[in-house]
Amino acid sequence: MAVSRESHMSTQNGASQDFVALAEIELCGELMIAASAAGEERLSFARIDQVLEVDRTAARTPVRIPAQAARRPH
């Protein structure tokens, strides 16, 4: 069965979206774990940045790619 170019491109785009969604889910999970372990009522912005490995003092920092997204097939 032949696969049309549009169908192939749609599949690739869908797979890319899946990995982005998995990365977002992983980051949300890390935030939920941190929030449940926190003794305070809310996570501070500094703690959120620490959990997400964000450095707001740097002008440009590389984007952190969660483990699930890094394992995507090529």
Instruction: Give the tens place of pLDDT for each residue, 8-26.
Output: 445 566 677 788 899 999 9
How would you label 53-74 residue by residue, b for 16+ Cβ within 10 Å and e otherwise? eeeeeeeeeeeeebeebeeeee
Give average pLDDT by consecutive 10-residue segment, the chain, 74 residues: 48 74 92 89 88 76 65 56
Q: Sign (positive/negative) of CA torsion 62, 63, 64, 70?
A: negative
Report how far residue 17's alpha carbon sits from residue 12's, in angstroms, rounded to the nearest whole number: 9
Q: What is the pTM of this model?
A: 0.53
